[in-house]
Amino acid sequence: MCALADQQCVPCRGDVPPLGDDRVSELLEELDGWSIEQGFHLTKTFRFPDFAKALAAVNRIGAMAEEQGHHPDIHLAWGVVNVEIWTHKIGGLTESDFVFAAKTDGVVASTGG
């Protein structure tokens, strides 16, 4: 698990600028399989052998999101979970988005995804 997963998400008050492209690229290199979509959405698709395991992962991601106070868009389909993260208040990415992505990887790994 990467060092980002050991950090805590910091709530955004909306008064900070989004990360610049250089910093986004640096942090993206610390993650496995995540990509940038639409210029400022951090996304990853996780695959599972069935609906029940995908749903279990969604529930665990949701519980972690509540603990961290950082809430992604989560899309569930049979055997597939797509997670999309960005800081809505600033319309871009913060370091907490990358922390959340790393934590998501850990949660999914613990569910067998």
Give the global pTM. Answer: 0.88
39 pLDDT more than 70:
yes
pLDDT at 28: 94
Taking a C-beta distance cutoff of 8 angstroms, is the pair 85, 37 a contact? no
Distance CA 104, CA 83 (A): 9
Per-residue pLDDT band for 34 (boundaries 50, 70, 90) equals: very high
pLDDT of res. 1: 43
Cα Rg of the chain, angstroms: 13
> By percentage, how much of the chain surpasses pLDDT 90?
62
CATH fold of the domain at 23-110: Gyrase A; domain 2 (3.30.1360)
How confident is the model over 48-97, as pLDDT tens digits? 999 999 999 999 999 999 998 888 999 999 999 999 998 887 888 988 89
